[in-house]
Structure 1
Amino acid sequence: MARITVSVKIFAIAVGLLLLMSIVALLTARMTRTVDAQLRTVAENYDPAADQLARASASSLERALWLRRVLMEGLNDDAQVNELADAKKKMEAADAATTAALQQARKHINDQIADPLDFDDNIKLARLDAQLEMLVMRRDSDFRRLIDAAMIAAVAHDRAALDRILPELDRERDLLTTRLQQYRDQMQDISAHALNGTRAYQHQTLQTSLLMLLVAAALGLTVAAAVTMGVVRPIRRLVAGAAAIQRGELDTVIAVTSRDEIGQLGDAFNKMVDELRAKERIRSTFGKYLDPRIVEGLVDRPELLSAAGERRLMTVLFADMQGFTSISETTTAQALVTIVNRYLTLLSAPVREHQGVIDKYIGDAIVAYWGPPFCDPANQAIQACLAALDMQRELDTLRAELPDLLGVKRYLPTIAVRIGIATGEAVVGNIGSDLTKNYTVMGDTVNLASRLEGANKFYGTELLVNEATAMAVQGRIELREVDRFLPVGKSEPQRVYELLGPVGNTPPERLARRERFVEGLELYRAAQWDEAHAVFTALATEDPTSAIFAARVEQLRQEPPDNWTGVWTLTEK
């Protein structure tokens, strides 16, 4: 299929319309010239012939008057010879004028008969010419004879001869006048018929021109509309395809029916859709291994692949299944995989719902982070804490599903989760080799989150956060300060807090225990061992953390430390 560009199509439409208009103009001009020729013929032949016949009729009457004058002078005995001669001369001049007019009339008639442009009246003209010829012959014979006889009688003053000739002469004169009038009327009728024919042809020319103009316009518009639709239809398909793509219908394919620029655009559109489908397959496939937002960034923003590490304020979460080792020892491999997959599915959902990014799975552990560009930096700590609270609630769902997952109702494993959250500076970027990279976070904040997750087992808690996180969520999350401790491998002590629940949605008894625990903690830091022990012992039955502190205070009371600062050093991760 030859390639015809849109510009060529548009130019062809213009040329076609111009050609049609030119043909109409030429036909109209040709018909107009025919009308002009007909009008010229009427003016040069028909009208002059009628005029000459009228002149012949007038000259014939004038000749008759001068003949009457001659005859009257002849009857007058006292008439002068010169007067008679003058009247005779004028009569002869009028007679010559009549003859000349008739000859000119016949000439115009014969010229029209010989003209190829006629009005289908040559037969009438020929008949009229024959009648005029007969008239001339008769006038030149009988009428001329009578005139000659009358003139002889007039010169001889023969009254008796004149009285005999005059009636016959009057009859011939009247007959000649009548026939001249008839022939003139016939010529006028023929001329009027020719003029009416010209007018009719002129009207027909106008109608034909208008009809050809309408036909040319309709034909041109039809062709232009067909070509235009051939251009517009693919554009409409492109618009519909773009709308379908916007709705997410990536199976859309545009039919390409031309090789012009629109066809090239359709090919480009289909290729673009193919790339979008490929990118969507990448998102769908790798979204199961990486956070979809990271996949989207890698697919849609390739510059992210070469992004250098940046220091940003981030919030990092570590979540680990409590007692995973014992569970793995008491369940089959298939059951363990089923439990872990369901566990990771349920606990990953809150992270994504609260704009977090799951960095990786380490066995049963979940590592996630919050921060720019994936969420609002001002709300990242709050989102992380809300996700952690929701993860605890998702465990209730998993516990309810365990009988169905394992196919047993007794001796079900105990499943719990320990979560550590830390907010602080971290390095964010692509980490890895030239062949394999991971867009992740690293640094002291990440390590601290891991230490906080592990510290839960030393404090009997499930959700621990560092001081920066606690400061960021004040007023939104209920917290309890647990301790100031020195993690393994750290040189600076950390204040650690336990998440209790959202403000306004935390059981009052937990808040009451928190107040009593804070009192005991202050006594503990003040080295008032007996008073602190009493407070923690009173709370120990309902609060595992208080029980741990009661045992710790008992140890400190037995072996009081030197230079007590209230900081507890952990010896295990």
Structure 2
Amino acid sequence: MLRPTIRKRILGIAIGLILLMAITSVLSTVMTRKIAHQLDEFSSKYVEAYGHLARMNVRSLEQSLALQRMVIAKMQSPPDNAGFADRQKIYEAKGLEIEQEAQAARSLINAIIEDTSTESDNARLGRIDDRIEHVNGDLRRYLSEEYKRLLSPLEAGNFPEVRSILARSDTFRDEFNQKVEEIRTDMLAQVRGDSVVTMRDQQTAITISAILTGLAAILGLMFSLFISTGITTPVRRLLDGTRAVEAGRLDGSIDVTTRDEIGQLTAAFNNMVEQLRHKERLRETFGRYVDPRVVEGLIDPKSLTASDGERRVMTVLFCDMKGFTGLSEGMTPKGLVKVMNHYLSTMSGPIRSHRGIIDKYIGDAIMAYWGPPFTENDEQARLACLAAVEMAQRGVALRTELPELLGVRTIPSDCTIRIGIATGEVLVGSIGSEFMMSYTVMGDAVNLASRLEGANKIYGSSSLASEPTIKAAGDAVAFREIDRLIVVGQSHPEAVFEIMGRKDELDDNQSRLQERYAEGLAAYRARHWDDARQAFDAALEAFPGDGPSTAMARRVAQFQANPPPADWDGAWRLDQK
């Protein structure tokens, strides 16, 4: 019952406007028909006749030019008889064209005279017609006579006589052109006179049409305003609400003031906004469990092309806190959650700020990755290494924050951050079961990053990275090679590097440490145990307490006591994860 309401209102407005437009159109048609006919007469008769008269002058000049070229052809030595014949044909053709232009102009003038539906000075047009006939007849007759007189002396080569005849012909032709010009002037005066009458009638028609159109517009506007007031007001409110939603403001609703379709639409709009509010809350909540960029990609599959599985080169990072298990013993559940949340937030910040994707939290461990489509291939390793540098710095600051959170004075000194980073080909996509899926990465690079994070225990380091990661990072960070490792699950050695900080930020002690450690590592691989021990000791003097130097010095002492086999390649095999 409600649906026809708006349709009837709109239909009423349309019918009223159509009637007003029809009345105006009929009156305008009747008034402008006469003007249209007069304008047609101007364009198709007056203008054409004037053009024919103008072309009479042009054809006359062209005929004179052809005659002169005939004479020139005969004056050549020997005479150009072929050229003479060609120009003679042109001369005769131009004479016929003058006759045709005159007849065409007269036909149009007579057509104007015979049309009684338009206002024109028929007597004046009749005189113009007679003048065209007389002028054209005189020209045709005189030029025919002169042309005959010209041929004999031209053939005889009597060129003085020829020039005399040409001079007389040119004089007569000038008189002809002058007479045609006078006829065109009279014709133009006739056109202007008739155009004044036409413009007057046209102005009258425009005035009457404007009055009728204005009256129709006023009546139509009043009618439309009266009927549409009840429609436009709720529509404006609905439009304002739509713009608010477009701007992201979902906290408002629109009052339903009508009982028609717009009222139903407003109620549906309010329900839609409520659903959007609910979905936005879900998105915000879900975004705290899964990276928002992954969430957006899963919602819009086009932006996450690898959702079905794809092999890509990615950079993977694992982070863990050494000694956290012992630190958490004796905590209350509430206190443990508080500390865990603070620790994970502190460590996750650098990952997010360097455009990494946090894949999961595993207890106090963090797994993250970089790569397409979230970061470009040429910057993923650099961003991961810079994130590791900042995480290590925040780990130092975290040691001063944990006592306050735990309500103790100090915490164990072995609570440090350990990070492992590896770059390589992995499987990327939505992996899981029919009950639960996770957009994650799998592969050797993931396993290697996890093993490198654990290898920090052996070397007393904080951030270890694979060789492909260091090469791809470029000059973003300062590093030193620590060792060659064969991690669990692999059979070939992997060069392992420690990330020491950002490029050009090392102090003198760190630089000396870097140099001495490199010397010790080279001597170690060459089995020069004494030289290696001295270099590592020098590294410890430059940077006391350096974990990798301490670990390698201890290993050198073991090899001095029990040398490795003859086929030893300098790689160290990890027997534990």
The TM-score normalised by the length of structure 2 is 0.61
1:339 aligns with 2:339: yes
For the Cα contact (< 8 Å) 1:320–1:419, is it kept in 2? Answer: yes
Pairs within 5 Å for 1:458-473: 458-473=458-473
Give the secondary-structure state (helix, strand or coil) at the position aligned to 2:426. strand
Counterpart residue number, 2:538: 538
CA positional deviation for 1:223 = 2.9
1:318 touches 1:449 (CA, 8 Å); kept in 2? Answer: yes
Who is 1:552 aligned against? 555
Shift in Å, 1:525: 1.1
Q: Which residue of 1 aligns with 2:310?
A: 310
How much does 1:376 deviate? 2.0
Label 1:548 to 1:262 Cα distance change in 2 as closer, same or farther (>3 A): same
Deviations 1:458-504 (Å, cap 9, x if unpaired)? 11101001011001112111111111111122111111011111113
Correspondences of 1:168-567 after superposition (within 5 Å) = 218-227=218-227, 232-233=232-233, 236-255=236-255, 269-270=269-270, 272-301=272-301, 307-329=307-329, 331-410=331-410, 414-540=414-540, 541-562=544-565, 563-567=567-571
> Cα deviations across residues 42-66 of structure 1 (Å, max 9, x unaligned)?
xxxxxxxxxxxxxxxxxxxxxxxxx
1:551/1:240 CA distance change after superposition, 3 Å: same
Identity of aligned residues (%): 50
Q: 1:113-147 deviations in whole A, cap 9, x for unaligned? A: xxxxxxxxxxxxxxxxxxxxxxxxxxxxxxxxxxx
Cα deviations by residue, 1:416-465 (Å, 9 ceiling, x for unpaired): 11010111111111111101111111111111110000000111101001
Give the drift of 1:564.
2.4
- Residue 264 of structure 1 and its aligned partner are, at CA, apart by 7.0
Q: Counterparts of 1:429 and 1:21 in 2: how far apart (Å)?
A: 65
Unaligned runs of 5+ in 1: 26-209
For 2:551, the aligned partner's letter is: I
Q: 1:382 to 1:555 in 2, by over 3 A?
A: same
Cα separation, partners in 2 of 1:268 and 1:509, compared to 1, 3 Å: farther
CA-CA distance at 1:293 after TM superposition: 1.7
Distance 1:237 1:526, change over 3 A: farther
Deviation for aligned residue 1:548: 0.9
Tell me if the contact between 2:513 and 2:539 (Cα under 8 Å) persists in the aligned partners.
yes
**Residue type of the partner of 2:251?**
D
Q: 1:223 is matched by which residue type in structure 2?
A: F
Q: Distance in 1 between matches of 2:256 and 2:511?
A: 70
Q: 1:330 to 1:24 in 2, by over 3 A?
A: closer
**Alpha-carbon shift at residue 230 of structure 1 (Å):** 5.2
Distance 1:247 1:24 in 2: 46
Q: Measure the CA separation in 1 of the matches of 2:424 and 2:21.
A: 81
Q: CA deviation at 1:246?
A: 3.5
Q: Secondary structure at the match of 2:576?
A: coil
Q: In 2 relative to 1, CA 522–224 (structure 1 residues): closer, same or farther, beyond 3 Å? A: same
CA distance in 1, matches of 2:381, 2:242: 40
Q: Which aligned pairs between 1:91-106 and structure 2 lie closer than 5 A?
A: none
Corresponding letter in the other structure for 2:398: L
Residues of 1 paired with 2:478 and 2:239: CA distance? 53
Superposition deviation, residue 349 in structure 1: 1.4
Q: Is the 8 A contact 2:360 2:366 kept in 1?
A: yes
Q: Is the 8 A contact 1:536 1:549 kept in 2?
A: yes
How does 1:141-156 map onto structure 2 within 5 Å? none
Relative to 1, partners in 2 of residues 1:508 and 1:435: Cα closer, same or farther, differing over 3 Å? Answer: same
CA distance 1:247–1:211, shift in 2 (3 Å): closer
The residue type paired with residue 568 of structure 1 is W
Residues 266-300 of structure 1 deviation map (CA, whole Å, 9 limit, x = unaligned): 56654553443233122111122211222222334
Counterparts of 2:340 and 2:285, CA distance in 1: 21
Aligned twin of 1:568: 572
CA–CA distance in structure 2, aligned partners of residues 326 and 422 of structure 1:
28
**What is the distance in 2 between the residues matched to 1:383 and 1:469?**
10
Q: Which one is further off, 389-398 or 519-528?
A: 389-398
CA spacing shift, 1:21–1:391, aligned 2, 3 Å: closer
For the residues of structure 1 that align with 2:533 and 2:412, how far apart are their CA atoms? 36
Q: Distance in 2 between matches of 1:306 and 1:557?
A: 52
Unmatched runs of 5 consecutive residues or more in structure 2: 26-209
Instruction: Point out the more displaced range, 526-535 or 227-236.
Output: 227-236
Deviations 1:10-49 (A, max 9, x none): 4421322456789999xxxxxxxxxxxxxxxxxxxxxxxx
Secondary structure of the residue aligned to 2:313 is: strand
- Residue type of the partner of 1:446? V
Amino acid corresponding to residue 368 of structure 1 in structure 2: A
Which residue does 1:191 correspond to in 2?
A: none
* Cα deviation code 1:209-230 (max 9, x no counterpart): x999988754531231355565
Counting matched residue pairs gives 391
Cα 1:242–1:14, aligned 2, differ >3 Å: closer, same or farther? closer
1:253 to partner: Cα distance: 3.2
1: CA distance between counterparts of 2:446 and 2:392? 21
The amino acid across from 1:245 in the alignment is V
How far apart, in 2, do the equivalents of 1:339 and 1:413 lie?
A: 17
One-letter amino acid of the counterpart of residue 563, structure 2: P
Question: In structure 2, what residue type is equivalent to 1:380?
Answer: Q
* C-alpha contact (below 8 Å) 2:327/2:411 kept by paired residues: no
